Chain A
Amino acid sequence: QVLLQETGPGLVKPSEILSLRCSVSGDYMTRGSFYWTWIRQAAGGRLEYIGHVSTSGSTNHGSTYNPSFWGRATISADLSTHQISLTISSVTAADTAIYYCVAHRVPCPPGRSFDVWGQGAMVTVAS
């Protein structure tokens, strides 16, 4: 079973860039086809899909984003370091949330796109 670990600064100033990394255990990233997804959860509890990047073996197939984050979020995969990154630009207090890295193998059965979660990283946007 793949293990995921999110890391990043806990505090980001308004208007700056939020950057997070998700480390993937072992060489799991290159052992098949996966979606690597970022989800966030603000204080109210609602889960929000940010976007995902698709990889297959040693090939990066590109990223897909929630239109709500279009132009602000970038998700990429580094297959050499086994890491997934997320950046969100021009952050505001509304971006304060726990950010989760989630993985699933593709293809997967319907409804099973969120079966492996990291423990989450809390990010606060404040001056």
Chain B
Amino acid sequence: AIYMTQSPSSLSASVGDRVIITCRASQAISNNVGWLQQKPGEAPKLLIYASSTLESGVSSRFSGSGSGTDFTLTISDLQPEDFASYYCLQDYNSWSFSFGQGTKVEIK
């Protein structure tokens, strides 16, 4: 099984801040990483796939990077609607998908 270790588990930030969330895979997984955003009471929404490709309609404030085992999600110029939980995911093997533990971004 491939494990995704995500950090931090939560953070407090202000509107306009830049936020960085990291995920480390337990083995090399190329660029088979996506990032999800989840707001309270809603299903998760895909923001980024292939480590750095923005899903259609997603704000350019979001960016992703990484390959192999280390990946980051960056939110630039944090906006009120960005306060949510974020999850990394890997789909390197079609028989074994997994997710990071999640990061809750709260208002400072």
Contacts and interface: CB of A to CB of B under 8 A. Distances in A.
A100 interface: yes
Contacts of B63: none
Interface in B70-108: 85, 87, 89-92, 94-99, 101-102, 104
Contact of A111 (B1, B51, B87, B104): B51
B49 A111 contact: yes
Interface footprint category on B:
20 to 34
A113 interface: yes
B1 A109 contact: no
Contacts of A100: 43-44
Contacts of B49: 109-112, 115
Contacts of B19: none
Contact of A115 (B30, B33, B55, B98): B55
Interface stretch (A10-18, A22-30, A83-91, A116-124): A116-124
Interface string A23-52: 000000000000101000000011111000
A109 B50 contact: yes
A111 B4 CA distance: 13
B61 interface: no
A59 interface: no
Contact of A110 (B45, B91, B96, B104): B91
B48 interface: yes
B89 A111 contact: yes
Interface of A: 35, 37, 45-49, 64, 66-67, 100, 109-115, 117-120
Given A47-B89, A64-B94, A113-B34, 15 more contacts: A45-B104, A46-B99, A47-B87, A49-B98, A109-B50, A110-B33, A111-B31, A111-B33, A112-B34, A112-B91, A114-B46, A115-B49, A117-B45, A118-B43, A119-B43
